[in-house]
Amino acid sequence: MSLEQNIYDLRKQKLGQIEALGQPAYPNQFRFTHQIPEILSAYTASTGEELEANKPQVAIAGRLMAIRLMGKASFAHLQQQGEKLQIYIKKDAVGEKQWELYKLLDIGDHIGVKGYLFRTRTGELSVHVEEITFLSKDLLPLPEKFHGLTDVELRYRMRYVDLLDVEVRQVFVKRAKIVQSIRRFLDARSFVEVETPMMQPIAGGAAARPFVTHHNTLDIDLFLRIAPELYLKRLVVGGLDRVYEISRNFRNEGVSTRHNPEFTMLEFYQAYANYHDLMDLTVEMLQQVAMDVNGSLKSQFGEGEIDWSNFQRLSMREAIIKFWPAEAGEAPTMEAFKSDAEIEQLVRRLQKTKFSVPYDPREPAGRAIADIFEAVAEAHLWQPTIIYDFPLAISPLSKNKASEPDFVERFEIYVAGMELGNAFSELNDPEEQRRRFEQQLGERERGDDEAHQMDEDYIRALSYGMPPTGGEGIGIDRLTMMLTGSTSIRDVILFPQLRPEKRDEEAAPEGESAK
């Protein structure tokens, strides 16, 4: 019999004894007067003398996180919503039977207490308990009180235990505030929040491999969406000039500290706006969110500090020039990007250094420009930076720049060396869209299974006329990482994707007798 099983059985016995004392094992409610955070904020200013004079009566509930027993009196901490309040139980004050009950409690149990507020000799606000109500038993031991759970696998698998750690909890509270703040920002500007299909017959709107699922009655395969993009633009065609959606996308790709197979994205579309309008809107939105969440335009991330007050803006080509590594010789000029031969030369020069840049002569030169950018510039983009004017070759849904047809009106936001957002003036010429899809089909033929598929209904929608529109996607998980200082995406997703846990055949904690 394992130790864990021992503790489980012991605590079940205690639960039986608690019932024998007349308290139900699993009562169905507790009427409290305050939540613990309310008490802490309402009485911080009250002195011991004031409390002594008024003896404010309170009833509170929470989880027991520490017990310090001294014979016939005891202090303990109750935790609720990530905050702790001390309680003081004295045998004289609660009586024989309640004292017996108290001694049957374990760390991790939920209880409710009634009593009055006072300050201890050391000045800590505490509840002088007059009555204990048993609420729920913790049958399994909590992690070590000082270090908590540090095994990240256990943390992610047993988030219900991990969340008792106040700092872990705080990350997810902040995540909720981020989403709240984004909604407030967009709602105030007349955006309409919508929900579009998660299960799509054609997975479009991004370059990624989808998950496949099956509908039994219709007997068709469906794809979990990789982006809501094409549906949201159909809505703009239909006259929802300003729409947004915050929801999950699914991409059947590797997992890493920056990637989870399901992740949350904000996408929004604004009719009659171009990508420059979106740049301004984005800066304003991210600054509001940072203030709402942290009360500051600075946030700590890893070794450094992110300063959201200042967004650098560079074109992709300018960024390549700016961050061109000395070991690869003279930095290119803007002119160099106009010639396919010169672009190939740039790649060749980089390939002689530590920078690995793929090159495929069958691919359009624009792809090479993007690859060069990723190799030399991306890692430098630690402070918030807007990179604009992307090559047409990697942007099948963006509008061409009028002055430079090989480039499109697209930008991405980079923070802490990561992509945070992606935006563009939306391509609304249905015939050009058809040509782009056909070109993507060509790449599919050549083996790129992330290339975009043909979507006839989307082209039909554009044929009814979409106003000039700017659209943008922002990764909520990544934004949460940046604003909470979490260097792994798994720390901002409650239940990140892990391999299924393998269970041993040993007896389950329910305690079935062994065969």
Which 294-353 residues touch RNA, going by CB under 7 A?
none
Which residue in the set 258, 276, 434, 444 belongs to the binding site for RNA (CB under 7 A)? 258
Closest C-alpha to 413, from 473, 463, 470, 485: 473
Closest C-alpha to 145, from 67, 89, 61, 86: 67
Q: Does 126 bind RNA (CB under 7 A)?
A: yes
Collapsed DSSP state (helix, strand, coil) of residue 504: coil
CB of 93 to RNA, least distance (A): 7
Residue number, 141 or 467, with CB nearest to RNA: 141
Residue number, 2 or 170, with CB nearest to RNA: 2
CB of 146 to RNA, least distance (A): 4
CB of 258 to RNA, least distance (A): 6
CB of 455 to RNA, least distance (A): 17
- 266 and 480 Cβ atoms separated by less than 8 Å: no
Strand order in the sheet with 192-193: 192-193, 242-250, 262-271, 469-475, 418-425, 407-415, 385-391, 312-315
SS (H, E, C) 264-313: EEEEEEEECCCHHHHHHHHHHHHHHHHHHHHCCCEEEECCEEEECCCCEE
47-86: which residues touch RNA (CB under 7 A)?
Answer: 66-73, 75, 86
Closest C-alpha to 319, from 375, 367, 272, 394: 375
Q: Where are the beta strands (DSSP E) in 81-196?
A: 83-90, 110-119, 125-136, 192-193
CB of 38 to RNA, least distance (A): 20
Which residue in the set 28, 356, 403, 513 belongs to the binding site for RNA (CB under 7 A)? 356
Q: Does 450 bind RNA (CB under 7 A)?
A: yes
494-513: which residues touch RNA (CB under 7 A)?
Answer: 498-499, 502
Residue number, 143 or 430, with CB nearest to RNA: 143
Q: Which stretch binds RNA (CB under 7 A): 53-61, 266-274, 305-313, 486-494?
A: 486-494
Distance CA 255, CA 242 (A): 33
Residue number, 72 or 435, with CB nearest to RNA: 72
Q: How is residue 490 written in tokens?
A: 């798994």
Collapsed DSSP state (helix, strand, coil) of residue 474: strand
Q: Does 192 bind RNA (CB under 7 A)?
A: no
Q: Does 477 bind RNA (CB under 7 A)?
A: yes
Annotate each residue in 195-234 with x if it binds RNA (CB under 7 A) or - if it does not, as one string.
Answer: -----------xxx--------------------------
Which residue in the set 387, 420, 427, 482 belongs to the binding site for RNA (CB under 7 A)? 420
Q: How far apart are the first and last CA of the chain?
A: 13
Residue number, 79 or 488, with CB nearest to RNA: 488
Q: Does 90 bind RNA (CB under 7 A)?
A: yes
129-148: which residues touch RNA (CB under 7 A)?
Answer: 141-148
DSSP-assigned beta bridge partners for residue 58: 115
- 277 and 305 Cβ atoms separated by less than 8 Å: no
Q: Does 96 bind RNA (CB under 7 A)?
A: no
238-257: which residues touch RNA (CB under 7 A)?
Answer: 251, 253-254, 256-257
Residue number, 241 or 344, with CB nearest to RNA: 344
Which residue in the set 168, 243, 393, 489 belongs to the binding site for RNA (CB under 7 A)? 489
Q: Does 21 bind RNA (CB under 7 A)?
A: no
Distance of CA 345 to the CA centre of its chain: 41
**Torsional sign, CA 307, 312, 316, 319:** negative
Residue number, 124 or 456, with CB nearest to RNA: 124
The one-letter amino acid at 52: E
CB of 209 to RNA, least distance (A): 8
